[in-house]
Structure 1
Amino acid sequence: MKILHTSDWHIGRTFHGVDLLADQRRALDAVADIVRDHGVDVVVVPGDVYDRAVPSADAVRLCTRAFERIRAAGARIVVTSGNHDSPARLGAGASFAAAGGLHVFTTVAAVGEPVVVADEHGDVAFYGIPYLEPDATARELGVAGGRSHASVLAAAMGRVRADMQDRPASTRSVVLAHAFVVGGEATGSERSISVGGVETVAAGAFAGVDYVALGHLHSPQEVEPHVRYSGSPVPYSFGERSHRKAVWLIDLDAQGLADVTRIDLPVVRGLSVLEGTLDELVSDARFAAAEEHYVSAVLTDAVRPLDAMRALRQRFPFAVHLEWHRPVGSDLGRYRDKVIGRTDAAIVRSFVTDMRSAPSDSECALLDAAVEAAVAQQDSSTATAEDRSVAMSA
């Protein structure tokens, strides 16, 4: 049996405010193409199908399209909910969807009730373990002591093993789980699932399973040969620019795990972090390769340039992030020298420019009004205090 492991689609996510639906569509189309080209039997998606509990209509349409294309390519689909998903919404109509080959696991009650798919060697049982929030699931799982990710996952795996024992010895097993397993490396774009500072579980919790398809971490990685993260299909932070997005093609034979092949996904749009003065970034030939990338720019000008993002986007239309790093050793003068002789309004505008960017005309009007109100309040307070002093002395 051929199984394709993908996860953490995060459909509906934005990248520094930029809509990623078009990028996600291209990546998920590539997943469907892999299913068709490699004759995949089952696609597993262990969690974070959506980026938020209440996805937009466009996100739902894209997800539905992805499922339809994968199913049309010939594969059945097994999905679990992640910490970003709403189990109730993702799992709505799950029993009906299963009749069409889409199997969605979002409840604790179904942890020990696999979907069974047969091949020429016999049965393969797919167990879906959704993201388990310790406080919310401990009682249902019978965890009485310290509630942690490790304890609730161990209880869930206890239900899995109990079901496995009741099946023929020839039955192979695949577990989908959304968790932070010891040995995995985060990229920085994952939402923390820590409870009391402890969010990891040991890979040994999955002992006895032929393959464990993990979700939550966004880079493809091997924890153990049979325990892996596929990562997300597109990058969600500049910390992910150092690795190539991929999926795992799993081959199960009569004895269990026979082979795992990494298949790289196409680069939808590159990521670049560029550093230099504004003039260098918009004119230097060495930055030409990043012109169609998502760009994070670090400016090193001695004085923060005005309207820098607009200038950058003339060359880099997908520039999404901008920082100004004051050059080390630059002589910007003492604070007193910078403010002496300047009005309060001018000082406030300069502060906003240093901290963010030059305020617009409408923002300047708001800042000026705030300064005038503060000065008026201060004058009123001073006058009241003086009146009280005169009255007391009289």
Structure 2
Amino acid sequence: MRLLHTSDWHLGRSFHGVGMLEAQRNFVDQLVAFVEANSVDVVLIAGDVYDRALPGLDVVKLLDDALVRLTQAGAGVVLTSGNHDSAIRLGFASRLLERGGVHLRTRVEDLDVPVVFPFGVEGEKQGNVAIYGVPYLEPRLVAERLGVDNASHFDVTQEAVERIRRDVEHRREAGPVHPVVLAHTFASGGITSESERDLSIGGLGAVPLDLFDGFTYTALGHLHGRQQLAANVRYSGSPLAYSFSEAKHLKGAWLVDISTAGEIDVREVVWEAPKNLAVLRGTLDDLLGSDQYAWAEEAYCQVTLTDAQRPNQAMEQLRVRFPDTLVLAFDPEGAGTRTTTSYSDRLAEARDDLEVCCGFLEHVRDRSAGDAEEAALREALEAVRLEEAEL
């Protein structure tokens, strides 16, 4: 049985104000082509299919198109809801969709009801892969329904896993069962990035890794970096980068082959990024003039300027060379060691109104007024003085 572990599609998300729907369409094209070329039996989507609980019509159409194309390619789909999804809306028409090979697991009551795929070569020992989909479990909302006293991520996840274990043991009375669990959660040991929404304040949403012991494979969703926590417990990560903290991520999925004996072989799958990310740091002159940054001219850029004084029209100048500069920050070199005069001290030392205005301008932007700016301020102050004189 061949599974493809994906998660965190976040359809409809933007990247620092830039729409990503076209990039997400490109990902779906790659996904379908891979499923066709590699005879994938089941595509797993471990939550956060949408980026918002109320996705736009074009976003819903993209998911509809993806599911139709995947099933036409011969693959089943097992999909769970994440903390960004509306479980009720995503789970609409689940019984009808199941007839077409799309299996939604968005209800707490269905987390121990697996999608069972029998497999094996004819004439040899047969096996069953039982895929359990655990939707995102918000403790305050599901604790009572799960019969849990403490509304914590650990307690509700532990109860969910125990229910799955009991179902697996019951099914094994009738023959071999290889359980696969999809869970949208934060497991201990996972490495976070800036584009994920916290599951709880203070990091208390993490659940221990050993909760998933004994399963053939656990396909996790929520963290956007593809990573391995154990040989059979992994995050696929998001198919696209959704923050500059993911600039060094190699986006992809996990291809999981399960033998009739329950052994797994896991290989990485890499998606081609439609546009690279560049995190640049340096002085404005260096960034604009050095050949070492030529590769970033076609990338989305996050730039931190280290000039001692904030350059005038920095963003406009940067976009001449790096037209897709999306984030600009300033971190003057030596700012932590140099001695500065407080603004109140500057006010006390100012000799006239012009110095007060120029001092304020320098204080708020860390750059002194230029000749043209000083002339404009002088002209404005003179106009005010003349108006007051006429009163």
TM-score band w.r.t. shorter chain: 0.7 to 0.9
Match of 1:215 among 221, 243, 257: 221
Structure 2 residue matching 1:139: 3-state secondary structure: coil
Asked whether the 8 Å contact 1:4–1:40 carries over to 2, the reply is yes
Between 330-339 and 196-205, the greater mean CA deviation after superposition: 330-339
Classify 1:240/1:97 alpha carbon distance in 2 versus 1 (closer, same or farther; 3 Å): same
Counterparts of 1:259 and 1:150 in 2: how far apart (Å)? 29
Q: The residue matched to 2:278 in structure 1 has which SS?
A: strand
What TM-score comes out, normalization by structure 2 length? Answer: 0.85
How far off is 1:95 after superposition? 1.4
Match of residue 329 from structure 2: 323
- The answer for the alignment partner of 2:168 in structure 1 is 164
Name the CA shift for 1:86/1:345 in 2 (closer, same or farther; >3 Å): farther
Return the offset for 1:350: 5.2
From 183, 189, 197, the counterpart of 1:183? 189
Q: Does the CA-based 8 Å contact 1:246-1:263 persist in structure 2?
A: yes
Q: Secondary structure at the match of 1:118?
A: strand
Q: Distance in 1 between matches of 2:205 and 2:27?
A: 29
Secondary structure of residue in 2 paired with 1:77 = strand
Partner of 1:151: 155
Aligned length: 358
CA distance in 2, matches of 1:318, 1:197: 34
Identify if the C-alpha distance between structure 1 residues 162 and 195 changes in structure 2 by more than 3 Å, giving closer, same or farther: farther
Q: Deviation string for 1:114-148 (max 9, x for gaps)?
A: 1112222332111110000111100000102x221
Q: Give unmatched runs, 5+ long, in structure 2.
A: 121-125, 368-379, 385-391
The residue that corresponds to 1:363 in the other structure is none
Q: Bigger CA drift: 308-317 or 102-111?
A: 308-317
Which residue of 224, 247, 251 corresponds with 2:253? 247
Per the TM alignment, residue 180 of structure 1 is displaced from its structure 2 partner at its CA by 0.8
Task: Report if aligned partners of 1:148, 1:195 keep a CA contact under 8 Å in 2.
Answer: no
How much has 1:312 moved relative to structure 2?
1.4
Residue 133 (structure 1) aligned with residue 138 (structure 2): yes
For 1:332 and 1:23, the matched residues in 2 are separated by 46
Q: Deviation per CA, 1:323-356, whole angstroms, max 9, x where unpaired?
A: 111231668766445883346766665555459x
- Work out the CA distance in 2 between the residues paired with 1:196 and 1:240: 22
2:123 aligns with none
CA gap of 1:294–1:196, structure 2 versus 1, over 3 A, is closer
**1:13 alignment partner in structure 2:** 13
Choose 187-196 or 11-20, whichever is displaced more.
187-196
Letter of the 1:173 counterpart: P
8 Å CA contact 1:77, 1:103 repeated in 2: yes
Residue 124 in structure 1 maps to residue 129 in structure 2: yes
In the alignment, what sits opposite 2:115? Answer: 115
Q: What is the rounded CA distance, in whole Å, between the counterparts of 2:113 and 2:264 in structure 1?
A: 25
State the alpha-carbon separation in 1 of the partners of residues 29 and 279 from structure 2.
Answer: 28
Label 1:308 to 1:246 Cα distance change in 2 as closer, same or farther (>3 A). Answer: same
Partner of 1:276: 282
Query: How do residues 1-394 of structure 1 correspond to structure 2 at under 5 angstroms?
Result: 1-120=1-120, 121-144=126-149, 146-167=150-171, 168-194=174-200, 197-328=203-334, 335=343, 336-337=345-346, 340=350, 341-342=352-353, 353-354=365-366
Counterparts of 1:108 and 1:196 in 2: how far apart (Å)? 25
Give the alignment's Cα RMSD to 1 decimal. Answer: 2.4
Q: 1:260 to 1:348 in 2, by over 3 A?
A: same
Which amino acid is the alignment partner of residue 327 of structure 1?
Answer: E
Cα shift readout 1:81-114 (whole Å, capped 9, x = no counterpart):
0011110111111111111111111110111111
Letter matched to residue 26 of structure 2: R
Distance 2:98 2:321 in 1: 49
Distance 2:212 2:218 in 1: 7
Aligned counterparts of 1:263 and 1:200: Cα–Cα separation in 2: 26
Distance between the aligned counterparts of 2:202 and 2:193, measured in 1? 21
Q: TM-score, normalised by structure 1?
A: 0.85
Distance in 1 (alpha carbons) for counterparts of 2:29 and 2:70: 8
Q: Secondary structure at the match of 2:143?
A: helix
Q: Is the contact between residue 43 and residue 76 of structure 2 (CA under 8 Å) also seen in structure 1?
A: yes
Q: What is the alpha-carbon distance in structure 2 between the residues aligned to residue 5 and residue 294 of structure 1?
A: 27
Question: Which residue of 2 is the match for residue 376 of structure 1?
Answer: none
Deviations 1:257-308 (A, max 9, x none): 3311111111221111111222322232111011111111111222212322
C-alpha distance in 2, partners of 1:178/1:105? 11
Counterpart Cα distance in 2 of 1:334 and 1:134: 48
Q: Give the distance between the partners of 1:349 and 1:58, measured in 2 at CA.
A: 45
Give identity over the alignment, percent.
43
Mean Cα deviation higher: 228-237 or 67-76: 67-76
Match for 2:160: what amino acid?
A
